[in-house]
Structure formats: C-alpha cells, structure tokens
A and B are shown apart, each in its own frame.
Chain A
Amino acid sequence: MTPLTRFALPLGITVAAIGCGGSEMPAKQLAETQSAVRAASEVGADDNPRAALHLKMARDQISKAQALSREGENEAAKQLLQQAEADAELALALTRVEQADRNQKNAENQLESLSQ
C-alpha cells in the first residue's frame, strides 16, 4: 500500500459513513442524545426510580428513532430523538435532586449535632 492509499482509504470510508448517516439518520443528534443518556446513567439515574423511568423512555425512543430512520422516516426519527434527549436530561436533573436533598440533610444534621 502506498502512503497515499493508506491515508485515503480510511478517509474515504469515514466520508462515506458520514455521508450515509447524514442522509438517512440525524447522526449528530443521535450522538448528542446518546451522550445525554450516558451522562444521566453515570450520575446514577438508574438507581432513582423516577429518573430510571425517564431514562428507559429515552432509550426506547432512541431505538424507535433508529428503526424509523432505517425506514426513511427521518422527520419522525428526529422528533423522537428530541423527546429522548429531553427525557435523558430530565433523568439527570431528577438524580441530582436526590443528591442535593441528601447533601442538604447532611449539612442540617451536622448543624444539629452542634446544638446537642
């Protein structure tokens, strides 16, 4: 393989992949949505019942969007991804609520301990 082909081949494949994704599937939006799901999962959204419910909704809608995209229903897929992202972000926020409440309680207990 010449240096040129060694460089050109992966580039070509990448371009092709982006091209295909762009035309059939809102790839950038999908990546963003998946990253929102990951972020929620990383802060422990799966362990919080309410957050876990929205995280599941997000995941389900991503799958559905991928399926729709394969069928060429890109507009519907886009809407589903938007909804999935909103659910993922909500799951993250709900998890943080639980953590903030816990921190608040800790601080209050600490203060309480001084009064005793």
Chain B
Amino acid sequence: MPKTNWSRCLNDGARTEDDVETIYTMVKYPARALMVVALCATAWACGSSAPTAQLVDARRAYERAQLSPASQYTPDDLLTARQALDRAEAAHEEDPGSSTEAHLAYLADRKAQMAEARGEIAQAKAVEAKARAEYQSRLERTAESSQQALSKTRSELDSAKKAQSSAEAGRLEAEKRAAAALQSLSQVATVKEEQRGMVITLAGNVLFPSGGDVLSPIAQQSLDQVAKALEEQSPETPIVIEGHTDSRGSTATNDSLSQRRAQAVANYLATRGIDASRIQAVGRGENQPIASNDTTDGRASNRRVEIIVGGQSSAQGATFGAAAKPTPGGAAAKSMPQQPPPAPVPAY
C-alpha cells in the first residue's frame, strides 16, 4: 500500500508529486480517502488562517486604545487606527499569513499605540488647563476678597469718622439749642450766671395774683419756656426753686406764701417733663430782698421766684439792705438760711 503522507498534509497542506499517490490511494480506498480529505481540509483551514503575530498585536493594541482616553479626547486618531486595522484584516482575509498582512498589521499596531498616546496627551493637557484655570480663578478670588476686606475696613473707618463728626455736630447743636433756649427765656425772665449757678428770675406779679399761690395762664406760658430751657441742660443738673416776697405782711405769712409759690412752680415744672427729684422748692420769705421795699418798683422786684440751675440755694447769697429778720421756726423751718441743702456736684 502506498505511503500516505499524513504528517505533511496535517502540517502545511503542501501539494507535491506525492499528491498523485494520495489521489490514487483515495480512489482505491474511498473511506480512508474521505477521512484524509476531511482532516486535511480542517488542518488547512485552521492552520493557515491563523493571524500573523503582527495582526494579533495590532488587534490587542486597538482594543487597548479603545478603552483609553483616546475614545474621548482623540476620536479621529482612533478612527485612523481602526481603518489601518481594517486594512490589515482585509489583507488577512485575502491572503492569510502573508507579508502584506504582517506589514499592514505592523502599521495598524503603531497607529493604535499612537492614538492611545495622543489621547493621553490630550487628556493631560485638558487636566492641566483645568488646574491652571482653577489656580488663576482662586488667585483672583483671593485678590478680590482682599480688596473687599480692604474696602470694608475703609468704609467702616469712614462711617466711624462720620459718626464721630456727627456726634461732634450733635453736641454743638445741643449747646446751640441750650443757648438759644436761654436766650428766648430772657424775654420772660432775667437770666444771670452767678456763683451759686445759673439763676433764672421770674417776676412775682407776672406769676401769681397778689397774695395767691396759683399760677396765672401767662405764668404757665413763661414756665413752659423755662421748662424747655431746662430740658436742654444736662438731666442730672439739680434745680433749686426759691420763693421770695416783699416785706409787707407778717414774716410767717410771707415765709409760708413764698414756700407755697416755690412749690407751685416746682410742681408745674414737674408736669412739663422736668424730673421732680431734681427739683427742690424753698421759701425764703422776705429775707433776701434784691431791691428796696420802700418803693413800689422795689417791692415788685422783691416779689419773685428764682430758679437756680446747677448750683446751691442762695442762703448765703447777696442780700439787699439790712432787712433780714430773725426766722421763726415751724412751717418755714425748711428755709432756714443756716442749713442749706447739701449742694450736689454740678454736672458741668
């Protein structure tokens, strides 16, 4: 029986002059021949259709590139690689294992690696650009917030200055108002700065009817102005209200009357917003005349109410003439000249 070249057939399917023998064998032994043909066909198909090492590499490189940033950043390069791989695959279809396949697969492999590399470059550049932009914007934000802090400090300083100058202006304004109030007061009373304090003197015949202690409507208007002027002074300043009479009538009557008149003025001022605890009402009777009791005008001057602001009562104040009489006790004890109320410390 002729020798059947199995190994050659299995190995590479090459056809030589032995093939003639093989065909002869096939004819003679159909079953065996069929088997041989099947084996050979399988071997030929499998063995020869195996891709070249280059194609295997190219396929793998392309798969890697597909999963790389290239798909997002450099799709064009990826497409070029795909096309190169397609050419290699086509060459493989046409002539498996050929040098053309190997060559085209080699190129496809490099194109795939290049697509991957370029994708990485593009990604790195994108990340870099983002970091630089973020850096820049943070720098700007920092500068901006410093600027804001600076202008905030500036505006705080400005408003502090403004507040200071407006406080200053307010103080000046208050002083002006106080002076103006005193000035307007001079129309209904005399205002004098004395050692015992500021003394506002109101004429008695304007304030009270003769012998009475009820304030006339005109007196109330005058006292409204006084109250206004007093409001402009410091609220802690103590106020002493002294009632004075002329020398007509008994001393006791005069003491009592002057005390009631002083109290009436104090009460009225209290209703006009002056804190009653600041006010002390004192009756001086006829003890401290400021003019002669021998004339009508002099007696009119002596009938008066004095409002002393920020000082002490006029117990030791200047008196006119030698009219001082011994003060009886009792109702007028409060007005004992020898015991003036303790003088509070003036506010200014």
Residues of A within 8 A of B (CB): 54, 79, 82-83, 86-87, 89-90, 93-94, 96-97, 100-101, 103-104, 106-108, 110-111, 114
Contacts and interface: CB of A to CB of B under 8 A. Distances in A.
Given A86-B106, A90-B110, A111 B135 contact: yes
B121 A107 contact: no
B107 interface: yes
Given A90-B114, A93-B114, A97-B117, 13 more contacts: A82-B107, A86-B110, A86-B114, A89-B114, A93-B118, A96-B121, A104-B124, A104-B125, A107-B128, A107-B131, A107-B135, A108-B128, A114-B138
Contacts of A86: 106-107, 110-111, 114
A106 B107 CA distance: 34
B343 interface: no
Contacts of A101: 120, 124
Contacts of A54: 110
Interface residues of B, number: 24
Closest 5 CB pairs of A and B: A100-B124, A86-B110, A107-B131, A93-B117, A104-B128
Nearest to A107: B131
Chain A CB count within 10 A is highest, among B124, B125, B127, for B124
B103 A94 contact: no
A75 to B, nearest CB: 10
Chain B CB count within 10 A is highest, among A87, A90, A110, for A90
Contacts of B139: 114
Nearest to A102: B124
A101 B124 CA distance: 6
Contacts of A107: 127-129, 131-132, 135
B190 to A, nearest CB: 78
A57 to B, nearest CB: 9
B129 to A, nearest CB: 8
Interface of B: 99, 103, 106-107, 110-111, 113-114, 117-118, 120-121, 124-125, 127-129, 131-132, 134-135, 138-139, 142
B168 to A, nearest CB: 46
Chain A CB count within 10 A is highest, among B107, B127, B131, for B131
Contact of B121 (A79, A100, A111): A100
A54 B121 CA distance: 18
Given A93-B114, A100-B125, A104-B124, A114 B135 contact: yes
Contacts of B142: 114
A74 B39 CA distance: 40
A96 B120 CA distance: 9
14 contacts: A79-B99, A90-B110, A93-B121, A96-B121, A97-B124, A100-B124, A100-B125, A100-B128, A103-B124, A104-B124, A108-B131, A110-B131, A111-B132, A114-B139
B54 to A, nearest CB: 10
Contacts of B99: 79
B113 A90 contact: yes
Contacts of B113: 90, 93-94
